[in-house]
Structure 1
Amino acid sequence: MREFENPDHWDAAAKHYQKTAHPFTAYFAEAALARISLTPESRVLDVATGTGALALAAARTGAQVLATDFSPAMVACVQNAGLPNVEARVMDGQSLDLPDASFDATFSIFGVIMFPDWRKGLAEMHRVTAIGGYGIVATWQEMGAATFLLLGNVRRKLFPDRENMPMPAAIKALSNPLDFSRELIAAGFRDPVIESVTHAYQLDVKLLDNPDTLFGMSPDWTSLTDTEQAAVIAHVREMAGNNAVLPIPSTALIAVAQRSPTEPFSPSIVRA
């Protein structure tokens, strides 16, 4: 099992993730939300919610939101936000303990792409989406984003003979919009629309004084020797020059697809 497939890994990282990654992923969550319309009557599911960037943003529209994640500590972060129209539950996104056709919009913002069986995750999103409802999925491009993207690029420059940590299989499989579309259709969705969205992660150069807070979640960092880590930090400082902040442009693909309103009638997919 790779680290990111283990809920214990995310339990340990939850508070750090909430402080560092959540504000950045929130930009992409807002971009995803902007692609559909929600009302206070909308039922929204956020699969692999993390610390709830999408779930909390959706709740602010007035929608009724269920946030799920396999990490209890991540779920606790969402619960602690205290929004009355958000419920958060520990759940495996590859086997959602939810009835068919339960949600008007089903989101996964950089979540399903981390699953060992990400195709099952997409199929589960389709299953629980109401007829005529929408599935919205965000993935990173193949080299990742933010500090992971920066570290990978620096490693390739400084240590060209060293292998980098392989990205989750779904990130590679979905990096091409045509492939992304095919996989959503294979999961049961129709008419996917995929757009690229770029935001720059603003790296506070002062944090390089304690680089484990930036890179410590990545095997690309922990696999380096002390001397190699020092070389990475020196190179990043050189990239930043005299600037207090180093922007790291990071691109996501955001897909919106519909559960077909023309699917055959089945009692299991009729709204309550």
Structure 2
Amino acid sequence: MREFENPNHWDTAAHHYQKTAHPFTARYAEAALARTSLGPGSRVLDIAAGTGALALAAARTGAQVLATDFSPGMVACITAAGLHNVEARTMDGQALALPDGEFDAVFSIFGVIMFPDWRKGLAEMARVTRPGGHGIVATWQERGAATFLLLGDIRRKLFPGREGMAMPEAVGALSDPENFAREMIVAGYRDPRIERVTHDYELNVAALDDPDRLFGMSPDWTSLNDGEKATVITEVRQRAGDRPILPIPSTALIGVAQR
């Protein structure tokens, strides 16, 4: 089992994820929401919800939201938000314990792409979407985003030929918009639209003083020895120059399709 497929890994990382990744992924969640029409009375499902970037944003439209994740630690973070129209449950997105056609909109923001059987995850999304409802999926492009993207780029420059972090299979498969659209159709959706959305991840250069906290979730970092880590930090500082913030342009693909 790869680390990102283990719920215990995400339980341990939940609060760190909430502080660091959540504010960034929330920007893509808002972009996904902008491609649908929700309001009071809408029934929304967020699969592999993490700490709830999409679920909490959807709740602000007045929709009734169910957020699911296989990590109890992530689910606890959503529950702690205390919103009356958000319910959070621990659940496997590859085998949802939910009836067919239950939801007007079903989202997975960088979630289903992490599943061992991601095609089953897409099919489950379609199964629980009502006829005429929408499925919305966000995936990163092939080399990832934010600090993962930066580290991969630096590793290829400093250590050419050395194997880097293996991305989840779905990230590679869905990086091509035509393939992405085709997989949504196979899952049970129709008329998919795939759009690119880019935001800058703003890396605070001061955070390099504690690089293990900044980069510690990436195997591209943890697989380095101390000397190699120091070389990477020097490279990041050189890229930043005199700037206190180093922007890392990160592109996602957002697919929207109808059931």
Partner of 2:258: 258
Look up the equivalent residue of 1:97 and give its one-letter code.
A
Measure the CA separation in 1 of the matches of 2:158 and 2:224. 12
Partner of 1:113: 113
Partner of 1:65: 65
Superposed CA offset, 1:29-85 (max 9, x none): 000000010011100000000000000000000000000000000000000001100
Partner of 1:168: 168
Superposed CA offset, 1:159-198 (max 9, x none): 0021001100000000000000000000010000010000
Moved over 6 A (4+): none
Look up the equivalent residue of 1:76 and give its one-letter code.
A
Partner of 1:134: 134
> Alignment partner of 2:195: what SS?
strand
Identity in percent = 76
Partner of 2:245: 245
Is 1:214–2:200 an aligned residue pair?
A: no
1:67-86 equivalence runs, <5 A: 67-86=67-86
Measure the CA separation in 2 of the matches of 1:39 and 1:61. 5
Measure the CA separation in 2 of the matches of 1:196 and 1:212. 31
Look up the equivalent residue of 2:168 and give its one-letter code.
P
1:214 Cα deviation (Å)? 1.3
**Number of matched residues?**
259
Measure the CA separation in 2 of the matches of 1:101 and 1:80. 28
Look up the equivalent residue of 1:14 and give its one-letter code.
A
Stretches of structure 2 that go unaligned for 5 or more consecutive residues are none
Partner of 2:122: 122
Partner of 1:48: 48
Measure the CA separation in 1 of the matches of 2:25 and 2:229. 26
> Alignment partner of 1:35: what SS?
coil
Measure the CA separation in 2 of the matches of 1:142 and 1:214. 22
Look up the equivalent residue of 2:131 and give its one-letter code.
I
1:189-208 equivalence runs, <5 A: 189-208=189-208
1:219-238 equivalence runs, <5 A: 219-238=219-238
Stretches of structure 1 that go unaligned for 5 or more consecutive residues are 260-272
Look up the equivalent residue of 1:7 and give its one-letter code.
P
